[in-house]
C-alpha cells in the first residue's frame, strides 16, 4: 500500500482511511455530508497527492502530446491548462488527464493514480519524437483547496494575485515561502485551486492553509466528499463513467476531441461521429426517495433493462438521489422517464442534463 506524504497528518486527525488506487487515502474526517457542504458554501482542503504527474519537454514534447491526446495542445499558451484524454486505436478512453503548458517546450501531464504506470508506458511506446520524459509523481504533492472562500484563504499565503488567474490557467510562484504551481482548476465545481508542491514542503503548506482558513470555515475533506461533489456536477470518473470500453463521443466529451489534428484513435472516432453513437452517458435525478449506486440497472417504461448506473449518490444540495449511466441513444432524451432498480424495486427517475445543481443552489 502506497501513502502520500501527508498520511501521518490524516491519521493523527482521525481520518477514516481506505485503499484507493493503491494508496491509503482519507475518505472522510467529520463526515461526507459535512465536508461536502463546507466545500459548496465555504471551503475544504483535499489531499490528492496520489495523482500522477509527468513532465514532457524538448522539441518532441508537443508532437508527442498531440499524437497521444484528443484535445489540441497547440492552442495552449504558457500558463494555461487543458482537459483531454488518451484514446486507443479503437477510440476507447485509456485515461483522462490535464495538460499544463509550463514553458515554450515544457508540459506537465496530470493523470489518474490507478493508470499512472499504464499511461507512462503508453507515452514511452509512442515517443518516437525524442521528447524528454520525467515521472515526478512520487516527488510531488497535490493539494486541492476548493470552495467559494478559497481565494480569500490562499491569498493570505501568497503574493500571486489570485483573482488574475483565469479558470483553467495557473501561475508559478510561492505559497508560504515555498515554490508552487497554483492552478485555478478542481474536481468539485465549487471553484478553488489545485496546488502542486514538492513533498518536503507539503505538510507545512497544508498546515498553514488550515490555519489561514480557520476563520473562513475551512475543514479537511476526504475522497468521499470529492466523489459526491463531482457527481453533483456530472463530472466523469475514470473506471466508472469512462473506461477503455467507452469513447469520448459516447461520454459527452466530444468537446475535447479535435479532428483538426492527427491522434491515436482518430479514424475510429471519425467513423463513430459519422454513423452516430448507439448509446450516450446521461444524467438523471431520482423522482422517488432512493439512492442510486454504481451497478444498479436502468430500466425503460416496459421494465426492459437499457443500461447500468455508472455513478450514483445522494445530493446533499438537492436532498435527492442523482446519477449517471449509459442508455441507448433513442432513450437518451431530456426529461425522459426511466427507472433505477434499487434494492429489488424499480424507482422512478428523470433524465436531465448535468450539472444537477446551479450556482444559485
Cell numbers given for 235:
463530472
- How far is the C-alpha of 243 from the C-alpha of 220, rounded, in Å? 30
Per DSSP, helices labelled H in the chain are 7-12, 32-41, 61-68, 116-126, 150-154, 199-212, 223-233, 266-275
- How far is the C-alpha of 191 from the C-alpha of 224, rounded, in Å? 18
Query: pLDDT tens digits, residue range 161-213?
Result: 999 999 999 999 999 999 999 999 999 999 999 999 999 999 999 999 999 99
pTM: 0.96
- How far is the C-alpha of 11 from the C-alpha of 28, rounded, in Å? 11
Instruction: Give the per-residue pLDDT at 358.
Output: 83
Query: What residues contact residue 31 under an 8 Å CB cut-off, 6+ apart?
Result: none
- Domain 278-355 falls under CATH 2.40.30.110: yes
Is omega for the bond preceding 49 within 30 degrees of 0, making it cis? Answer: no
Write 309-312 long-range contacts (CB < 8 A, 24+): 309/340, 310/240, 310/241, 310/281, 311/231, 311/237, 311/240, 311/241, 312/231, 312/340
Q: Is the pLDDT of residue 271 over 80?
A: yes
Binning pLDDT at 50, 70 and 90, where does residue 106 land? very high
Q: Is 57 helix (H, G, I), strand (E, B) or coil?
A: strand
Query: pLDDT tens digits, residue range 87-101?
Result: 999 999 999 999 999
Q: Where are the domains of the chain?
A: 1-277, 278-355
Pairing status of strand 23-28 against strand 16-20 = antiparallel
Burial of 141 (0-12, 13-18, 19+ CB in 10 A): buried
Q: For the domain covering 1-277, report its CATH number.
A: 3.30.1360.120
Burial of 177 (0-12, 13-18, 19+ CB in 10 A): exposed
Question: Residue range 93-114: average pLDDT?
Answer: 98
C-alpha torsion 105→137→156→34, nearest 10: 130
DSSP β-bridge partners for residue 179: 174
> Matching CATH topology for 1-277 and 278-355?
no
Instruction: Report the percent of the chain where pLDDT is more than 90.
Output: 98
Residue 6 φ then ψ, to 5°: -95, 5
Question: Residue range 290-311: average pLDDT?
Answer: 96
Helix (H) and strand (E) counts in the chain: 8, 19
Instruction: Give the per-residue pLDDT at 302.
Output: 86
Query: pLDDT tens digits, residue range 12-68?
Result: 999 999 999 999 999 999 999 999 999 999 999 999 999 999 999 999 999 999 999
CB 359 within 8 A of CB 317: no
- How far is the C-alpha of 139 from the C-alpha of 252, rounded, in Å? 34
Query: What residues contact residue 204 under an 8 Å CB cut-off, 6+ apart?
Result: 176, 178
CB 22 within 8 A of CB 113: yes
329 DSSP 8-state letter: G
Amino acid at each position: 500500500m502506497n501513502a502520500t506524504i501527508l498520511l501521518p497528518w490524516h491519521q493523527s486527525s482521525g481520518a477514516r482511511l481506505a485503499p484507493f488506487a493503491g494508496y491509503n487515502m482519507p475518505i472522510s474526517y467529520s463526515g461526507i455530508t459535512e465536508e461536502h457542504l463546507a466545500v459548496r458554501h465555504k471551503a475544504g482542503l483535499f489531499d490528492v497527492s496520489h495523482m500522477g504527474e509527468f513532465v514532457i519537454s524538448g522539441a518532441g514534447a508537443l508532437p508527442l502530446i498531440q499524437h497521444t491526446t484528443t484535445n489540441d495542445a497547440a492552442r495552449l499558451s504558457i500558463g494555461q491548462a487543458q482537459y483531454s484524454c488518451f484514446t486507443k486505436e479503437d477510440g476507447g478512453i485509456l485515461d483522462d488527464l490535464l495538460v499544463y503548458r509550463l514553458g515554450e517546450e515544457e508540459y506537465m501531464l496530470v493523470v489518474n493514480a490507478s493508470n499512472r504506470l499504464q499511461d507512462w508506458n503508453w507515452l514511452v511506446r509512442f515517443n518516437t519524437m525524442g521528447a524528454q520524459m520525467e515521472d515526478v509523481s512520487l516527488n510531488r504533492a497535490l493539494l486541492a483547496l476548493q470552495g467559494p472562500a478559497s481565494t480569500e484563504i490562499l491569498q493570505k499565503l501568497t503574493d500571486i494575485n489570485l483573482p488574475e488567474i483565469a479558470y483553467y490557467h495557473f501561475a508559478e510562484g510561492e505559497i508560504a515561502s515555498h515554490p508552487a504551481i497554483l492552478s485555478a482548476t478542481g474536481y468539485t465545481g465549487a471553484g478553488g485551486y489545485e496546488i502542486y508542491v514538492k513533498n518536503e514542503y507539503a505538510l507545512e503548506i497544508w498546515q498553514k492553509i488550515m490555519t489561514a482558513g480557520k476563520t473562513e470555515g475551512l475543514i479537511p475533506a476526504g475522497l468521499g466528499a470529492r466523489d459526491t461533489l463531482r457527481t453533483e456536477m456530472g463530472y466523469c470518473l475514470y473506471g466508472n463513467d469512462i473506461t477503455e470500453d467507452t469513447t469520448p463521443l459516447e461520454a459527452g466529451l466530444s468537446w475535447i476531441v479535435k479532428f483538426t489534428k492527427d491522434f491515436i484513435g482518430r479514424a475510429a472516432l471519425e467513423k463513430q461521429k459519422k454513423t452516430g453513437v448507439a448509446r450516450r452517458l446521461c444524467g438523471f435525478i431520482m423522482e422517488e426517495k432512493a439512492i442510486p449506486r454504481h451497478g444498479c440497472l436502468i430500466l425503460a417504461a416496459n421494465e426492459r433493462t437499457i443500461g447500468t448506473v455508472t455513478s450514483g449518490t445522494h445530493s446533499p444540495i438537492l436532498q435527492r438521489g442523482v446519477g449517471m449511466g449509459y442508455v441507448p441513444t433513442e432513450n437518451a432524451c431530456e426529461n425522459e422517464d426511466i427507472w433505477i432498480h434499487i434494492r429489488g424495486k424499480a424507482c422512478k427517475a428523470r433524465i436531465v442534463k448535468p450539472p444537477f445543481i446551479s450556482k444559485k443552489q
